[in-house]
Amino acid sequence: MTATPANLNPLPPAEAGAAYVEAIGGADKVLGIAQQSYDKGQYRWTAELLNHLVFAQPDNQAARELLAKTYDQLGYQAESGPWRDVYLTGAYELRNGPPTKVISLGEIARLLEETPLPLFFASMAASLNGPRADGKQLLINFNFTDLKENHVLQVENAVLHHRIAAPVAGADATVNLTKPLFLKLVTGGAGLKDTLFSDELSIEGSRLSLLEFFQLLDKPQGNFNFNIIEPRSSAERLKPRLKNWGFFIYDGRPPRTVRPRFQRIAPHV
């Protein structure tokens, strides 16, 4: 929030794009100004112009290609790795379209091994099914024996609270396990019921309470890929909002399809 009133309730990108293109004098005029800006190396202004044009006219191939070249150059100039990833992903999708395959959690197991445990539990909190959790009160200790670390989860008032603390006496269940086993559980590498009732972990208290806890969490549904460089389709806009307990590292959006590492791009001359 910048406190600029015009930013409080802006037009959706497609509507804003069409209005900008009309105000400037049409698609050809916008494309001509953008080409001049690109030739001068004014890539941020070029991207601003062409982003409006592509959102207004997603099938305009000339605009898409010039915007892709602009993102190539912005990616080359970016000192930040994540910024470069975003620019080059935009360029890739302008040329090839959005991803069609959803990456599974099992395919990013190595990444998840390095993910701090609090992020997993924060994601669980976001995926708690409020109506199902209404009236439930559960207290669960997750004791990671390999990390010497205990996490306390509490469901109360249809909200999941998490903290790192010593095991709480009198909890409904205390689960003693390792992080690798936990990862198998949350990525689907091991079945929930089979794991909870196996000898691979020890549970103090009620196994049924622990099973009830996991049943309060929504599971992934559907394809969560989304366009980043053109308007979403009406079918995408009508998709139910975030019913998922995948693990979101940056801004709450589901992981996108992993791209191959891009080669370094020569600067525009």
DSSP string, 145-176: TTTTEEEEEEEETTEEEEEE-SPPTT-SEEEE
Domain endpoint, select from 37, 70, 96: 96
Q: Which range is least confidently modeled, 2-6, 41-45, 233-237?
A: 233-237
23 and 80 in a single domain? The answer is yes
Beta bridge partners of 155: 138, 160
Residue 208 lies in a domain: yes
Dist CA 77 CA 87 (whole Å): 10
Question: What's this model's pTM, rounded to 2 decimal places?
Answer: 0.62
Dist CA 102 CA 24 (whole Å): 39
Total number of domains in the chain = 2
Residue 135 lies in a domain: yes
Domain endpoint, select from 96, 123, 155: 96
Residue 66 lies in a domain: yes
87 and 110 in a single domain? The answer is no
Residue 255 lies in a domain: no
Q: Which range is least confidently modeled, 106-115, 118-127, 176-185, 248-257?
A: 248-257
135 and 187 in a single domain? The answer is yes
CATH number at residue 85: 1.25.40.880
Q: List C-alpha distances in Å: 173 to 79, 118, 214.
A: 48, 19, 12
Average pLDDT of 150-174? Answer: 96
211 and 112 in a single domain? The answer is yes
53 and 70 in a single domain? The answer is yes
15 and 53 in a single domain? The answer is yes
Domain that residue 208 falls in: 105-215
Dist CA 151 CA 232 (whole Å): 39
115 and 210 in a single domain? The answer is yes
Q: Is the pLDDT of residue 3 over 80?
A: yes
Dist CA 161 CA 135 (whole Å): 15
98: phi then psi, degrees, rounded to nearest 5: -75, 165
- What pLDDT does residue 224 have? 60
Q: Is the pLDDT of residue 264 over 50?
A: no
Q: pLDDT per residue over 105-143, tens digit each?
A: 666 777 888 889 999 999 899 999 999 999 999 999 999
Q: Please report the sign of the dihedral spanned by the C-alpha atoms of residue 57, residue 60, residue 63, residue 69.
A: positive
Residue 50 lies in a domain: yes
Residue 240 lies in a domain: no
The CA-based diameter of the chain, rounded to the nearest angstrom, is 71
Q: Please report the sign of the dihedral spanned by the C-alpha atoms of residue 198, residue 153, residue 120, residue 164.
A: negative
- What pLDDT does residue 182 have? 87
Q: List C-alpha distances in Å: 220 to 203, 223, 244, 246.
A: 26, 9, 4, 7
118 and 174 in a single domain? The answer is yes
Residue 124 is classified by DSSP as H
Dist CA 253 CA 224 (whole Å): 8
Residue 188 lies in a domain: yes
Average pLDDT of 196-203? Answer: 75
Q: Is the pLDDT of residue 262 over 90?
A: no
Q: pLDDT per residue over 58-108, tens digit each?
A: 999 999 999 999 999 999 999 999 999 999 999 999 999 888 776 666 667
28 and 116 in a single domain? The answer is no
CATH number at residue 196: 3.30.1050.10
- What pLDDT does residue 194 have? 64
Average pLDDT of 198-224? Answer: 82
17 and 115 in a single domain? The answer is no
Domain endpoint, select from 198, 215, 232: 215
- State whether residue 188 is helix, strand or coil: coil
Residue 132 lies in a domain: yes
